[in-house]
Amino acid sequence: MAFQDLLEQVGGLGKFQILQIAICMLLSIITGSHILLENFTGIIPDHRCWVHILDNDTVSANNTGVLTQDALLRISIPLDSNLRPEKCRRFIHPQWQLLHLNKTFANMTEPDSEPCVNGWVYDQSTFLSTIVTKWNLVCESQSLNSMSKFLFMTGMLVGNIVFGYLTDRWLSESARWLIITNKPKAALKELRKAAHINGRKNVRDTLTIEVVKSTMGEELEAAQKKPSLSDFFQSPNLCKRVWLLSFVRFAVWLPSFGLILHLYQLGDNVFLSPILIGIVNVPSIYVSFWTMNHLGRRISQLFLMSVLGIFILAIAFVPQGMQTPRLILTVFGAAFSTASITTCLTHATELLPTVSRAMALGITGIAGSIGSSLAPLLMILVTYSPPLPWIIYGVFPILSGLVVLLLPETRNQHLPDSIQDIENEIQGSRKAKLKDTIIKVTQF
CA 180, 181, 184, 189 torsion: positive or negative?
A: negative
List, for residues 258-267, the tens digit of each pLDDT value.
Answer: 999 888 887 7
Is 9 domain-assigned?
Answer: no
Tell me the C-alpha to C-alpha distance, in Å, between residue 46 and each of 17, 86, 123, 131: 49, 10, 5, 14
CB 81 within 8 A of CB 7: no
**84 or 171: which leads in pLDDT:** 84
- pLDDT given for residue 221 in this prediction: 60
State the average pLDDT over residues 338-367. Answer: 88
Shared-domain flag, residues 241 and 284: yes
Among 82-91, 184-193, 208-217, 353-362, the range of highest mean pLDDT: 82-91
Provide the domain count of the chain: 2
Shared-domain flag, residues 284 and 159: yes
Is 147 domain-assigned?
Answer: no
Confidence of residue 178 (pLDDT cuts 50, 70, 90): confident
Shared-domain flag, residues 115 and 159: no
Q: Using the predicted structure, report yes or no on whether residue 250 has a pLDDT greater than 70.
A: yes
Q: Using the predicted structure, report yes or no on whether residue 405 has a pLDDT greater than 90.
A: yes
Among the residues of 318-355, which ranges form H helices? 323-351
Q: Using the predicted structure, report yes or no on whether residue 424 has a pLDDT greater than 80.
A: no
Shared-domain flag, residues 379 and 261: yes
Q: Pick the closest to residue 248 from 152, 344, 183, 176 (CA basis).
A: 344
User: DSSP characters for 361-387?
Assistant: HHHHHHHHHHHHHHHHHHGGGGGT-TT
- pLDDT given for residue 38 in this prediction: 86
State the average pLDDT over residues 403-429. Answer: 80
Is 224 domain-assigned?
Answer: no
Domain with residue 276: its CATH number is 1.20.1250.20
Shared-domain flag, residues 115 and 233: no
- pLDDT given for residue 329 in this prediction: 92
Among 130-134, 194-198, 381-385, 440-444, the range of highest mean pLDDT: 130-134
Which residues neighbour 395 within 8 Å (Cβ) at sequence distance 6 or greater?
Answer: 309, 313
Which of 89-93, 102-106, 206-210, 319-323 has the lowest average pLDDT? 102-106
Is 319 domain-assigned?
Answer: yes
Is 129 domain-assigned?
Answer: no
Confidence of residue 231 (pLDDT cuts 50, 70, 90): low
Q: Using the predicted structure, report yes or no on whether residue 254 has a pLDDT greater than 80.
A: yes
Among 37-46, 290-299, 313-322, the range of highest mean pLDDT: 290-299
CB 331 within 8 A of CB 274: no
Confidence of residue 69 (pLDDT cuts 50, 70, 90): confident
Q: Pick the closest to residue 344 from 313, 388, 303 (CA basis).
A: 303
Confidence of residue 309 (pLDDT cuts 50, 70, 90): very high
Shared-domain flag, residues 351 and 234: yes
Q: Quickly count: other Cβ atoms within 10 Å of residue 371's Cβ.
A: 23
Q: Using the predicted structure, report yes or no on whether residue 391 has a pLDDT greater than 50.
A: yes
**Gap between the Cα atoms of 138 and 440, Å rounded:** 68
- pLDDT given for residue 53 in this prediction: 82
- 108 in the Ramachandran plot: left (φ > 0), alpha (ψ -120 to 50) or beta? beta
- pLDDT given for residue 99 in this prediction: 76
Which residues neighbour 336 within 8 Å (Cβ) at sequence distance 6 or greater?
Answer: 284, 304, 305, 307, 308, 311
**Gap between the Cα atoms of 67 and 72, Å rounded:** 7
Shared-domain flag, residues 117 and 266: no
Tell me the percentage of the chain whose pLDDT exceeds 70: 84
- Interstrand relation of 47-49 and 89-91 (parallel, antiparallel or unpaired): unpaired
Confidence of residue 441 (pLDDT cuts 50, 70, 90): very low
Shared-domain flag, residues 162 and 75: no
- pLDDT given for residue 207 in this prediction: 77
**Gap between the Cα atoms of 377 and 154, Å rounded:** 11
**96 or 134: which leads in pLDDT:** 134
3-state secondary structure at position 306: helix
Which residues neighbour 285 within 8 Å (Cβ) at sequence distance 6 or greater?
Answer: 338, 339, 342
Shared-domain flag, residues 165 and 71: no
Is 17 domain-assigned?
Answer: no
Is 409 domain-assigned?
Answer: yes
**Gap between the Cα atoms of 69 and 190, Å rounded:** 72
In this structure, the chain runs to a length of 444
Shared-domain flag, residues 116 and 235: no
CB 88 within 8 A of CB 49: yes
Q: Using the predicted structure, report yes or no on whether residue 204 has a pLDDT greater than 80.
A: no
State the average pLDDT over residues 369-382. Answer: 91
CB 334 within 8 A of CB 260: yes
Shared-domain flag, residues 104 and 156: no
Which residues neighbour 375 within 8 Å (Cβ) at sequence distance 6 or greater?
Answer: 149, 153, 253, 254, 255, 257, 258, 261, 393
Is 357 domain-assigned?
Answer: yes
Which of 174-178, 303-307, 328-332 has the lowest average pLDDT? 174-178
Confidence of residue 143 (pLDDT cuts 50, 70, 90): confident
Tell me the C-alpha to C-alpha distance, in Å, between residue 173 and each of 65, 99, 122, 168, 188: 77, 75, 52, 7, 12
Range(s) of the domain holding residue 388: 152-171+229-419
- pLDDT given for residue 113 in this prediction: 85
Confidence of residue 336 (pLDDT cuts 50, 70, 90): very high
Looking at every residue in the chain, the average pLDDT score rounds to: 82
The type of residue at 119 is: G
CB 132 within 8 A of CB 145: yes
Q: In the 8-state DSSP scheme, what is residue 421?
A: H
Shared-domain flag, residues 160 and 102: no
List, for residues 148-162, the tens digit of each pLDDT value.
Answer: 889 988 988 888 788
